[in-house]
Amino acid sequence: MASGRCHALTVLDDHSRYALCLGALANESFQSTQEQLIHTFRRYGLPWRMTMDNGSPWGEPGRYTRFELWLMRLGIGVSHSRPYHPQTQGKDERFHRTLKAEVLQDGGFRDLSHVQRIFDSWRPMYNRERPHEALGLQTPATRYAASQRAYPEQLPPLEYGPEDKVRKVQSKGDFSFEGHEYVIGQAFTGSQVGVRRTSCDETREVFYGVHRVATINLKHQSVSIEKARLK
């Protein structure tokens, strides 16, 4: 843009390719992305799972971010594409090519408000008028149904079962269990996690609400971070 760089945030429904979000952001920070997604969730409801890139604010291999934990608190499963492997999110990459060809290539954008107005006029056309070969020349709107899971204005509490050993994560991202410290990441600081038995006496699973986030080895006093990743 004439006034700086625009960071375009895009969110697609995997089944229908319906574009739920096309936001003109000033940066890729937690706050900016969260504000845009809250607006999207209020309008379209919560998904069961989101697959996203790596890097700010989404996360990276072996480490959770505050952004991921926020999504997980909302009951949204989080998956990541393979690093440097855009084919994992082929539908989104195809959407980006269309966006570049039909909107971005001519340039001439003044500022974020100008870009957002153009995005807002193009997105309904993409969703409701533009036929897609992959959809049998139907439009995304003919395949899309909004989620029935409403966005909660207050985050639901973390809940654990009676068999779970609940521990509070300290400032260094660590918690104490059976006399040893285990580090799972500073994003968890101040939160409670549940430590759950497994079929193996040497290991325990660590949960953040209903989401398994790590496995600890009692014998070796080690931690393995668990993150879902698509091939």
How far CA 152 is from CA of 74, 86, 155, in Å, comes to 8, 32, 6
Domain boundaries, the chain: 7-143, 165-229
Helix-, strand-, coil-residue percentages of the chain, each rounded to 5: 30, 30, 40
* pLDDT(60) > 80: no
Distance CA 206, CA 158 (A): 13
Asked whether residue 156 carries a pLDDT value surpassing 50, the answer given is yes
Q: Is the pLDDT of residue 196 over 60?
A: yes
C-alpha of 57 from chain center: 9
229 pLDDT more than 70:
no
CB 204 within 8 A of CB 213: no
Reported as a pLDDT band with limits 50, 70 and 90, residue 87 is low
Which residues touch 154 (CB under 8 Å, ≥6 apart)? none
Across the strands, what pairs with 59?
55
DSSP letter (8 states) at residue 26: S
Contacts of 116 (CB under 8 A, 6+ apart): 23, 24
Q: Which of 87-91, 101-105, 175-179 bottoms out in mean pLDDT, i.e. has the lowest? A: 87-91
Q: Coil, helix or strand for 25? A: strand
| Strand spans (E) along 36-101 | 49-52, 77-80
Q: Which helix (H) or strand (E) segment is 222 a member of?
A: strand 222-225
Q: Which CATH number does the domain 7-143 belong to among 3.40.50.10260, 3.40.50.300, 3.30.420.10, 3.30.950.10?
A: 3.30.420.10
* pLDDT at residue 231 is higher than 70: no
Percent of the chain residues past pLDDT 90, beyond the cut: 78
Mean pLDDT on 119-134: 91
Q: Across residues 63-88, what is the average pLDDT?
A: 82
pTM: predicted TM-score of the whole model, two decimal places? 0.88
- Whose structure tokens read 């309904």? 124
Fill in the amino acid letter for 76. I
Residue 183: how many CB atoms within 10 A of its CB?
Answer: 16
Q: Give the model's pLDDT for residue 151.
A: 97
Tokens of 118: 């153009």
Least confident of 11-20, 30-39, 57-66, 137-146: 57-66
